[in-house]
Structures are given as structure tokens and as C-alpha cells.
């Protein structure tokens, strides 16, 4: 019994020595609401950094991190033939597609009869010339409804200067 009492006293002494601060339950509620968003963002960044490393992108990683966290940006990466190889998990919020549903397909899957040909021509020419572009166009969700999508795209080159991917930062606009 004495051993148990000594143990309890040691635990009490240890806990008194800890520097701790009490947090109201509301702070945990706030954290919990954002936990999934933070977790998905971290997973997206790790996947994106895998692409950066795999393809030896000559791109600033802080820039990618900033774009990923900015204004609910959705990031879509295509290969040189414009097949989608990566999309952030928040793709669902804008298009009702999960990222794994669009891998291997082209961004044309989001277009339809209400999509204006003018921004499509701008995108097409920029892609051919491997130049950046910025457009707003009408895209289609999985259920067939439309949304206005702002897209800022740019070519990605590897450290040797070869074109390896195209990256697009997108978000739904009013």
C-alpha cells in the first residue's frame, strides 16, 4: 500500500510541475470544426509535394502552400496531354466530383453547352504556347447544374526547363 501512496504522491508532484493552461470547451469546438479542412489541406500538400519531387518541378513550394490555403482554391494538375493527374480534396465543394473520379480525364469533362468558346480559346492557345492564362467560364457540376469558375493556369517546367505539367488554381465565383 505504501508503494501505491508513493506513486500517487509522485504523480501529483509531477502534474503540479507541469505548465498547463485551461482552454474553454468552445475553443475545442472551433478547432474540431476546422480539423477536417486542415487535415485535407495537409494531405493535399503532401500529395502535391510528391508530384513536385517526382517531376522535379522548378516551382516555389511556399507559393504552392500559399495558393492551397488561399480563398478555398482548388488545385488541378494535368500531364502534358492534359489528363488530370491530381486534384485537391475540396474539388467536391465546387463540382460534386471527388478527386479520384476525375483522375485520367481531361478538364473538358466540366464543359457543356453554356460554356463560352471565348475563354476556351484563350485556354487552348495558352496551353499550346505553354503560357499562363486567367479566365472565368461556366462549368458543369456532376448533377448537371452550372457554376461560374475562375481559373488561373500555368505551365510547370522541371529543373531542366522541360514542360512536365500544367497547374490550375480554381474557385467558384458569384
CB of 144 closer than 8 Å to CB of 150: no
Residue 120, C-alpha cell as written in the block: 476556351
Per-residue pLDDT, 29 = 58
Residue ranges of the chain whose pLDDT lies below 50: none
Instruction: Give 97-112 pLDDT, tens digit per residue.
Output: 999 999 999 999 999 9
Q: What is the pLDDT of residue 52?
A: 83
- State the pLDDT at residue 1: 54
- pLDDT for 25 equals 58
**Contact at 8 Å (CB) between 53 and 47?**
no
All domains in the chain, ordered by first residue? 24-173 (3.30.450.20)
Task: Provide the whole-model pTM.
Answer: 0.76
C-alpha–C-alpha distance, residues 114 and 150, integer Å: 15
The predicted structure's pLDDT at residue 26: 58
Sign of the Cα torsion 70, 72, 73, 74 reads positive
Amino acid at each position: 500500500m505504501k508503494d501505491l501512496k508513493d506513486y500517487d504522491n509522485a504523480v501529483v508532484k509531477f502534474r503540479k510541475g507541469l505548465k498547463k493552461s485551461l482552454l474553454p470547451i468552445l475553443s475545442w469546438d472551433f478547432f474540431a470544426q476546422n480539423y477536417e479542412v486542415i487535415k485535407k489541406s495537409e494531405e493535399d500538400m503532401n500529395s502535391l509535394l510528391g508530384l513536385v519531387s517526382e517531376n522535379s518541378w522548378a516551382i516555389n513550394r511556399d507559393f504552392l502552400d500559399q495558393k492551397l490555403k488561399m480563398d478555398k482554391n482548388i488545385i488541378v494538375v494535368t500531364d502534358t496531354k492534359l489528363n488530370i493527374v491530381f486534384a485537391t480534396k475540396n474539388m467536391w465543394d465546387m463540382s460534386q466530383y471527388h478527386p479520384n473520379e476525375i483522375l485520367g480525364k481531361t478538364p473538358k469533362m466540366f464543359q457543356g453547352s453554356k460554356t463560352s468558346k471565348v475563354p476556351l480559346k484563350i485556354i487552348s492557345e495558352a496551353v499550346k504556347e505553354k503560357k499562363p492564362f486567367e479566365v472565368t467560364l461556366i462549368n458543369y457540376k456532376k448533377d448537371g447544374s452550372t457554376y461560374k469558375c475562375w481559373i488561373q493556369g500555368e505551365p510547370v517546367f522541371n529543373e531542366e526547363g522541360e514542360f512536365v505539367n500544367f497547374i490550375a488554381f480554381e474557385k467558384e465565383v458569384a
